[in-house]
């Protein structure tokens, strides 16, 4: 018994800091504990659960650890984590119940490690604030505004192709495409063009990667969840520097655009043209207008800009790096996708138009299959404010945290035959019509789905078309050899590499 005292003290201290930092309002009620303990799951000590087991894992081992348990428990399981009831699922039927709820929209404590960076923007906010912001910002992604973004996307993806071909051989596509996607989001959504030699953008992209990783390390460690304990670490000092880089970058973007916005308003008073209207229709302009109408502060604006700058470039470039790997691994798919482009464009390198996009049926299937296997956002979470009855008769009690693992949901063998194989034909009209609507959710679904998903698909299709028409891709990295870091955005544990050669 004496030997157990140090362990019990360590657990008590850990839980104390956890409560002080995260769980003041979510200590499980006795009702929640009784109902939760009826849910099936792996054997683990009550209260502590799998906390210390997870702490010992490397980031690239977590997905396989979760998959083993999904396979053993039919796609969903319950476990305790330092006094927190957690229900993990890769089941579309459970996903539908959770994601269609208009009440269970709180993202939960996992995302609080992002607050220092993103504060209370659309990704993290909840309740009335989230509802009001979502309603205010949705018009910023209207089809007309998306149409006005195609010129910028064409221009910047051509720059990416030029850099690929300049590299002459094996390249890591992510840094090049990350810069291209950042240029696009800055220009189309923020109304700001970055200079070709702007070192701030490279620094910004690197800081995003580090901040992403730190956030997940904190999610997984009961000790690091405590802001007090985290503040004593070297990781905290680097994280503070990264957040400063990220905030300074967005502050400069906002300041520059605010000055231009005020100038354009003065010009509008005397001269008006369709060209002026087109130029003004960017996401940041909407925020600046709302700041006057809805009493949004400078901090409110920055937290939304931080959110969209991060989500608008990192997810797209990440999705495209996996797409290039799949095209390189599957030359017959690449050739079929290329021939579709030839049918639309001939051998021209002209810009992609809206009409062209509507003809890219096979490329659309290829992109969707790539995002099935490699969803840029591999996991999302909710914290239940009310009970969630499931189709199988089980009830998940309120106060439970739901971890919806999209990566494994997209590979659930009950809904996908040969789930690890790359088969774009899965997304033909014939094969898609009877599929469960929540078996494929790369942009989440329901009320809190990704507000920028149409923008992302538009950008990915223009990017893929531009690259395919100019570049022949061979994959150096094999998908079967990859391990993945369980981050906010899905990253391989080692960089993906492809070989690029000119087509014509």
Mark the binding-site residues, compressed into ranges: 450
Residues that constitute the known binding site for heme: 450
The secondary structure of 183-222 as a DSSP string is HHHHHHHH--PPPTT-HHHHHHHHHHHHHHHHHHHHHH-T
Q: What are phi and psi of 442, to 5 degrees?
A: -65, -20
* 3-state SS assignment for residue 153: helix
Q: Which two tokens stand for residue 318?
A: 């990440």
Please calculate the CA angle 342-343-346 and round it to the nearest 5 degrees.
Answer: 50
Nearest to 98 by CA among 438, 472, 470, 442: 438
DSSP β-bridge partners for residue 87: 78, 402
List, in sequence order, every beta strand (DSSP E) within 18-150: 76-81, 84-89
Q: Are strands 84-89 and 401-405 parallel, antiparallel or unpaired?
A: parallel
Nearest to 183 by CA among 200, 162, 207, 171: 200
Q: What are phi and psi of 239, to 5 degrees?
A: -65, -40
DSSP β-bridge partners for residue 380: 404
Q: How far is CA 107 from CA 85, 161, 403, 499, in A?
A: 15, 38, 10, 40
Which helix (H) or strand (E) is 301 found in, with range?
Answer: helix 298-329
CB burial string 357-383: b at 16+ within 10 A, e below = beebebbbbbbbbbbbbbbbbbbbbbb
Please calculate the CA angle 63-449-26 and round it to the nearest 5 degrees.
Answer: 70
The total of other beta-carbon atoms located within 10 Å of residue 421's CB is 11
Interatomic CA distance for residues 487 and 470, integer angstroms:
32
Q: What are phi and psi of 85, to 5 degrees?
A: -80, 120
Considering only CA atoms, give the Rg of the chain. 23
């Amino acid at each position: 018994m004496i030997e157990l005292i140090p362990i019990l003290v360590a657990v008590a201290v850990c839980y104390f800091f956890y409560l002080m930092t995260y769980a003041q309002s979510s200590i499980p009620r006795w009702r929640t504990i009784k109902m939760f303990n009826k849910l099936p799951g792996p054997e683990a000590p009550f209260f502590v659960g799998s906390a210390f087991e997870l702490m010992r894992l490397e980031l690239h081992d977590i997905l396989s650890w979760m998959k083993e348990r999904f396979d053993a428990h039919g796609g969903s399981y319950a476990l305790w984590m330092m006094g927190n009831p957690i229900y993990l699922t890769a089941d579309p039927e459970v996903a539908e119940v959770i994601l269609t709820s208009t009440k269970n929209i709180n993202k939960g404590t996992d995302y609080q490690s992002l607050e220092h960076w993103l504060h209370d923007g659309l990704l993290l906010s909840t309740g009335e604030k989230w509802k009001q912001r979502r309603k205010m910002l949705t018009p910023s992604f209207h089809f007309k505004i998306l149409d006005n973004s195609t010129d910028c996307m064409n221009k910047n993806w051509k720059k990416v192709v030029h850099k690929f071909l300049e590299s002459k051989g094996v390249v890591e596509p992510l840094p090049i495409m990350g810069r291209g996607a950042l240029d696009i989001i800055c220009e189309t959504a923020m109304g700001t063009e970055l200079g070709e030699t702007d070192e701030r953008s490279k620094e910004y992209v690197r800081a995003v990667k580090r901040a992403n990783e730190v956030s997940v390390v904190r999610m997984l460690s009961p000790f690091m969840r405590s802001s007090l304990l985290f503040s004593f670490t070297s990781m905290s000092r680097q994280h503070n520097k990264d957040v400063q880089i990220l905030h300074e970058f967005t502050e400069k973007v906002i300041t520059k655009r605010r000055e231009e916005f005020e100038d354009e308003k003065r010009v509008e008073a005397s001269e008006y043209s369709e060209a002026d209207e087109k130029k003004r229709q960017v996401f940041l302009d909407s925020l600046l207008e709302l700041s006057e109408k809805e009493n949004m502060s400078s901090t409110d604006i920055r937290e939304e800009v931080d959110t969209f700058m991060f989500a608008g470039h990192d997810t797209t470039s990440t999705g495209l790096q996996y797409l290039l790997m799949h095209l390189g691994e599957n030359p017959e798919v690449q050739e079929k996708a290329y021939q579709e482009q030839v049918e639309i464009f001939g051998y021209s390198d002209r810009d992609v138009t809206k009409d062209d996009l509507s003809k890219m049926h096979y490329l659309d299937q290829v992109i969707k299959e790539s995002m099935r296997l490699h969803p840029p956002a591999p996991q999302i979470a909710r914290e239940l404010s009310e009970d969630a009855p499931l189709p199988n008769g089980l009830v998940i009690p309120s106060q439970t945290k739901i971890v919806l693992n999209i990566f494994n949901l997209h590979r659930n063998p009950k809904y996908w035959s040969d789930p690890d194989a790359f088969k774009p034909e899965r997304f033909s009209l014939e094969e898609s019509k009877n599929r469960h609507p929540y078996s494929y959710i790369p942009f989440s679904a329901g009320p809190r789905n990704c507000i920028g998903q149409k923008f992302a698909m538009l950008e990915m299709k223009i990017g893929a078309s531009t690259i395919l028409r100019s570049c022949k891709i061979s994959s150096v990295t094999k998908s079967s050899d990859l391990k993945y870091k369980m981050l906010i955005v899905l990253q391989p544990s080692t960089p993906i590499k492809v070989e690029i050669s000119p087509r014509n």
